[in-house]
């Protein structure tokens, strides 16, 4: 099985926007309530409260007068919120994410529909819970079994649907024939790569720094606006649009660079150590100060090859240790390389 998420822009009507706002509010309130309940329970008992126990609180809350409005929210949305919170806790305790945070009305809003959502042929998404058919900009065919749909609203006021589908695919043949590249992520340089023959550097575009002055002016204007006024709402949207442009530029850079590296290589090796404090190092024996640069990327690449060989997978890398291999044709038809590359994560310092 393979899972794939496709994000599309949606255009709800004013009435649908109001219904979505209510659903956002219910989901946000329940997340914060359940998170607070989880924290209190852990303090009192030293144990986490599970998904079933949290969901059992919902019927009681819906019957109480002060929280009876929860009954107007589609039940599957609230249960999906519970699942997301439990997953966030699990990721935190297993070291994959930071501790779950309380949600604010001012930040990005999102809700998840785990079932009863359909993609219709006329560029619409049918959403249960009273929302109905929402116009969407579906730019590609959506194949496979629909698992979940996450509806989100950005601070700038745009709506999106992230559609998760599951498809049945044959197990890919595990092979590392072709080019093997090591990547050293940095601070001064965004990334330094080594493919066994040469070093390539990719500078950090620093998207936020380019808009820093403009953003500062927008924030100063926003701070002078009266809380709750129409002019403040307008200023908030202008500031949010600027942040969104910065985020889009960053995402575009990451997408193009990752696509280039995947197109040109069959194996991508990166280290999973934090980069802070290790851009450079001093030799403990001779005292010479070194810049990691290509040396770290080369070490990462070599260690990745060693790990794969240790696991019994044959490596035939272009450059450096072993013989060249032409690979497969790119979908872009201008490179002899495969469009997909497995990633090997190492746990050592590449310096």
Cα separation, 260 vs 24, in Å, equals 38
Task: Quote the pLDDT of residue 15.
Answer: 95
Task: Quote the pLDDT of residue 336.
Answer: 31
Task: Quote the pLDDT of residue 273.
Answer: 60
CB distance 224 to 239 below 8 Å: no
Six-digit token pair at 34? 């359940």
Q: Mean of the pLDDT values across residues 227-234?
A: 87
User: Tens digits of per-residue pLDDT, 293-347?
Assistant: 677 888 888 888 887 777 655 555 554 443 333 333 333 223 333 334 455 554 4
Across the chain, the runs of DSSP E, i.e. the strands, are 2-11, 109-113, 117-120, 124-127, 132-137, 145-153, 159-167, 176-178, 180-185, 189-194, 199-203, 267-271, 280-282, 289-291, 315-317, 343-346
Task: Quote the pLDDT of residue 280.
Answer: 61
User: Tens digits of per-residue pLDDT, 121-134?
Assistant: 888 999 888 899 99
Lowest mean pLDDT across 9-23, 61-75, 214-228, 288-302: 288-302
Rounded to 10°, the helix 75-93/14-45 angle is: 40
Q: Mean of the pLDDT values across residues 40-67?
A: 93
CB distance 105 to 28 below 8 Å: yes
Task: Quote the pLDDT of residue 328.
Answer: 35
Task: Quote the pLDDT of residue 171.
Answer: 66
Lowest mean pLDDT across 77-86, 137-146, 260-269, 340-349: 340-349
- Give the residue among 6, 227, 36 at the shortest CA–CA distance from 119: 6
pTM listed for this prediction: 0.70
Q: Mean of the pLDDT values across residues 23-46?
A: 94
């Amino acid at each position: 099985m393979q899972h794939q998420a496709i994000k599309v822009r949606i255009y709800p009507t004013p009435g649908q926007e109001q219904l979505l706002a209510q659903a956002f509010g219910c989901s946000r309130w329940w997340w914060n309530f359940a998170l607070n309940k989880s924290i209190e329970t852990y303090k009192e008992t030293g144990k986490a409260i599970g998904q079933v126990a949290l969901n059992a609180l919902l019927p009681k809350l819906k019957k109480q007068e002060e929280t009876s409005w929860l009954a107007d929210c589609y039940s599957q949305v609230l249960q999906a919120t519970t699942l997301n919170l439990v997953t966030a806790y699990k990721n935190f305790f297993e070291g994959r994410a930071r501790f779950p945070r309380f949600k604010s009305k001012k930040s990005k809003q999102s809700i998840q529909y785990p079932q009863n959502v359909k993609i219709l042929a006329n560029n619409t998404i049918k959403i249960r819970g009273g929302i109905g058919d929402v116009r969407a900009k579906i730019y590609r065919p959506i194949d496979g079994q629909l698992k979940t749909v996450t509806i989100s609203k950005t601070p700038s006021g745009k709506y999106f649907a992230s559609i998760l589908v599951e498809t049945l695919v044959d197990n890919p043949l595990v092979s590392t024939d072709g080019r093997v590249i090591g990547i050293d992520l940095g601070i001064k340089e965004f990334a330094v790569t080594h493919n066994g023959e040469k070093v390539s550097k990719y500078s950090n575009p620093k998207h936020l720094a380019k808009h820093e002055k403009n953003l500062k002016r927008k924030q100063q204007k926003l701070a002078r606006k009266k809380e709750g006024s129409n002019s403040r709402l307008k200023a908030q949207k202008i500031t949010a649009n600027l942040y969104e442009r910065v985020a889009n530029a960053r995402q575009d850079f990451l997408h193009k660079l990752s696509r280039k590296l995947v197109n040109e290589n069959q194996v991508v090796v990166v280290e999973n150590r934090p980069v802070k404090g290790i851009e450079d190092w001093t030799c403990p024996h001779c005292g010479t100060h070194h810049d990691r640069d290509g040396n770290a990327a080369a070490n990462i690449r070599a260690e990745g090859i060693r790990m794969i060989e240790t696991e019994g997978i044959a490596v035939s890398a272009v450059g450096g240790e072993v013989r060249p291999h032409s690979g497969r044709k790119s979908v872009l038809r201008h490179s002899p390389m495969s469009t997909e590359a497995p990633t090997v994560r190492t746990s050592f310092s590449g310096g």
